[in-house]
Structures are given as structure tokens and as C-alpha cells.
Amino acid sequence: MVDLDEANNYFGFYYEPMHEIEQGLYLGCMRAAECEELLRAHNIKYIVQALESQYTERFDWITYHFVEIWDNPYQDLAKHLPSALQFIHQHLSAGENVLVHCAAGISRSSSIVIAYLMGKHLIDFYQAFDRVSSKRSCVSPNFGFRKQLKDTGEQQLRTYLILP
């Protein structure tokens, strides 16, 4: 039997469009990226969008990085990681806030955030997954993305954080 607190924690992502994973790094769904009030309240000026097509609702005061990817285990996530992680790291290092989102904030965007934590902290997939899921309990990268992150490894991901 699941207790009420556990159920509320799991289903909380339906009510909370985004969660702060580490200082300045937010993970969320498309609803978060659509809400100007929410973005301004959290001083988010940089967004990584992991979607199958470019989202049309854009704010002129936001800088976007688009990752064109379907939530399909056979998609090549790894080819997008160098530019996505560098974008995230560049802006977090400058003290800016970054939102990484996909449609639901469960698989695509969580995979990118997990990859970032693996590289930044030199931790394995499981440790990074635990950190992310402790803040946003619904995260669940598809099996193909999980395999790619494990295969790439934290040492390689770390090289993507080197700023030009």
C-alpha cells in the first residue's frame, strides 16, 4: 500500500511544472516553458527544449537551445549532449538560471539533466538519477537513453563542460 505522502510526492509533478535540481538548474515540462510568470519568478532566461519539433511559443527575453529528439529509445541522444551540456554549463557558470524541459519532464529532459550532473560531479548514471529523482520523483529516462548515458560515462560527459 502506498501512503498519502508517497503518492503526493510521486504525483506532485502534475501540479508542479518544474523543480530545481541544483542551484539554478530546473527540470520541467512544456507547461513550465509556457508560463511567463513562472519563468520570470525564477529568473530563468535560458531554456533547453528537448522536443520532436521546435516549440512555437517563445519569449524574446529567453535564449533557447533546441534539441530535436523524440522520446523513443532508438533516438540518438548522445549526439546532442555536447552542445546541450555546454549551453547549460556556460549559463550556470555565469550565475544564470536554466530550465531543461520536454513535453512532460520525465524522459528526454531528465536524461539531459542526468548527463549534466554525471559530467559536473563525475558520478555514475545511478547516482545522478538518484539526485534528480529526489527532487522530481517522476523522472524516468527511457531504456535507450539510460543505456546511452551509461555507455558514454561521466568522464566523457565531463569533457563537454569545458567552455571555449
Active site residue ranges:
102
Burial of 32-66, coded b for 16+ CB within 10 Å and e otherwise, reads: bbeeeebbeebebbbbbbbbeeebeeeeeeeeebb
Alpha carbons 12 and 36: distance in angstroms, whole number: 21
Instruction: Give pLDDT, residue 90.
Output: 97
Q: Is residue 120 left, alpha or beta, with left meaning phi > 0 and alpha meaning psi from -120 to 50?
A: alpha
Residue ranges covered by each domain of the chain = 17-159
- Say yes or no to pLDDT of 126 above 70: yes
pLDDT at 118: 98
What integer pLDDT is reported at residue 1 of this predicted model?
40
Q: Whole-angstrom Cα distance, residue 129 to residue 113?
A: 9
Measured CA to CA, the distance from residue 105 to residue 91 in angstroms comes to 20
- Which of the listed CATH numbers 3.20.20.210, 3.90.190.10, 3.30.930.10, 1.20.1260.120 matches domain 17-159? 3.90.190.10
pLDDT in tens, 16-52: 899 999 999 999 999 999 999 999 999 999 999 999 9
Chain segment 51-109, per-residue pLDDT in tens: 998 766 689 999 999 999 999 999 999 999 999 999 999 999 999 999 999 999 999 99
- The predicted pLDDT at position 7 comes to 39
